[in-house]
Amino acid sequence: MRRIILLALLACIANLGFAQKKYSYIKFKTYNKYLNNYQEEKGLATVSFEFTNTGTGPLIITGANTSTSRINISFPKQPILPNKSEKITITYNPKKKKGKFARTITIKSNAKNKIAILYIRGNIIPRPLSLEEKFPTKAGVLRFKKYRNRLFFNEVTDKQIKLDTVQILNYSDKETELSFRNIPNHIIITPENIKLKPKEIAKITIGVNGEIKKDYGYMYNRLKLYVNNKHSFKNDIIVNATITEDFTKLTPKELKNAPKIKFETTKFKFGTIKEGEKTSKDFIFKNEGKNELIIHKIIASCGCTAVFSKTKKIKGGQSAKIKITFNAKNKSGRQHKFINIITNDPKHHSVRLEVIGQVISNKK
């Protein structure tokens, strides 16, 4: 009798052991899906990843995530029994996406292999843009490509010509004549006059000639564009550039002997003053190079004036000063002004001085 009880007890223990060893296992048919040459205009793209629970216990998917908001993931919430199959649905949003992409989707579950990584890759072909989308900047009967009525040339040397192209659409239903007038000598425009048929596009070359400009620092030009001999500011084209000296042809010896500007400090912190008061500081600098240092230009922001009392040419080893005066008239609160010093120092062609402080308003 004791033997029978012992055998029954051992059988129960064995069955309990087998029960404890039950586990789920998630296995996908494929871990990769492709959207080859998918057209954006088709809208949302949907793919499914089929999987099977190849384990011995129920499978529960506990979560799914990805690194982009373009993807929406749908997965079964109920337990999946052993040898049963289900699917995970992935929806991809191709809106305003073009070219190749590759994304991963992380699937978490109670399976023995807790993490499964799925991949969705493809190539999106963007939908054709309408004329309004190609030329979103509207100006009367004209439309410009995005911000292309504003040209930013950044740096242009005094030996350089930089060109860019502006595209203008005649959005009216009538022939339209465009013409530029009073063009500065350093601005290049080709053609200056053009007639456009309805919905026709003009390609106009606009450039900056740094050598003709004969000036340094920031440059702003507003080019007046006439439409059918009438002018409107909203049609104008803005040209921005910073003219710099060309140091590219200097020899190693010339660079070694070049002027070197060195300020004792580039900041003036005046603390607190009252509205309407003035405060000044002498910015002392030295030419630590061998050749003559030339101060080409001093550009002060609103509220500041700069006085350079000596000659604009400083010999090697000599010092000089620039007196900066800040006028707090009609100003209040924190002030942060800049003064740009344009020189012939190849390494410090433009030096920025700062004026910082607080102005107490007179208003009660």
Q: Span 216-242, mean pLDDT?
A: 93
pLDDT classification of 310: cutoffs 50, 70, 90: low
Tell me the C-alpha to C-alpha distance, in Å, between residue 85 and each of 27, 77, 82, 108, 109: 9, 13, 9, 17, 15
Which region among 2-16, 95-109, 224-238, 345-359 has the lowest average model confidence (pLDDT)? 2-16
d(CA 199, CA 124): 29
Q: How far apart are the first and last CA of the chain?
A: 106
350 membership: H or E segment, kind and range = strand 350-360
CB 122 within 8 A of CB 38: yes
Q: Which CATH architecture has domain 131-244?
A: Sandwich (2.60)
Residue 364: which pLDDT band, with cuts at 50, 70 and 90?
Answer: low
Burial (Cβ within 10 Å: 0-12, 13-18, ≥19) of residue 92: buried
Q: Choose the CATH number for 252-360 among 3.60.150.10, 3.30.505.50, 3.90.170.10, 2.60.40.10.
A: 2.60.40.10
pLDDT at 18: 46
Least confident interval from 198-202, 262-266, 310-314, 357-361: 310-314
Q: How far apart are CA 306 and CA 213, in angstroms?
A: 23
Please state, in angstroms and rounded to a whole number, the distance separating the CA atoms of residues 199 and 99: 29
Domain locations along the chain = 23-125, 131-244, 252-360
Q: How many CB atoms lie within 10 A of CB 87?
A: 15
Note whether 166 and 183 are within 8 A (CB): no
* Contact status, residue 351 vs residue 266, Cβ threshold 8 Å: yes
User: Which SS3 state, helix, strand or coil, does residue 23 take?
Assistant: coil
Q: Whole-angstrom Cα distance, residue 28 to residue 39?
A: 27
Q: Contact 60/33 with Cβ under 8 angstroms? A: no
Please state, in angstroms and rounded to a whole number, the distance separating the CA atoms of residues 209 and 221.
13
Q: What is the pLDDT of residues 2-30, one digit of tens each?
A: 555 544 554 554 554 445 578 999 999 99
Strands 350-360 and 267-274: parallel
- pLDDT tens-digit profile of 25-49? 999 999 999 999 999 999 999 999 9
Q: Whose structure tokens read 């009967």?
A: 141
pLDDT at 154 over 90: no
| Tokens encoding 221 | 């030009």
Q: What is the CA radius of gyration of the chain?
A: 36
E-strand ranges in 252-318 read 261-263, 267-274, 278-287, 293-300, 304-307, 313-314
The pLDDT assigned to 262 comes to: 96
pLDDT at 6: 47
Beta 99-109 vs 85-92: how paired, if at all? unpaired
- With 60 as the cut, is the pLDDT of residue 178 above it? yes
Q: What sign results for the dihedral spanned by CA atoms 251, 254, 256, 261?
A: negative
Work out the percent of the chain whose per-residue pLDDT is above 90.
80
Residue 232 has pLDDT above 50, yes or no: yes
CATH top-level class for 23-125?
mainly beta
Average pLDDT over residues 192-212: 94
- Cα 63 to Cα 298: distance, rounded to the nearest angstrom: 63
Q: What is the pLDDT of residue 214?
A: 83
Where is average pLDDT lowest: 130-134, 271-275, 309-313?
Answer: 309-313
Q: Is 4 helix (H, G, I), strand (E, B) or coil?
A: helix
Prediction pTM value: 0.66
Average pLDDT in the 228-251 region? 93
Q: Give Cβ neighbours of residue 251 (< 8 Å, ≥ 6 apart).
A: none
- The answer to whether residues 359 and 335 touch, using CB atoms and an 8 Å cutoff, is yes
* pLDDT at res. 145: 85
Average per-residue pLDDT for the chain: 90
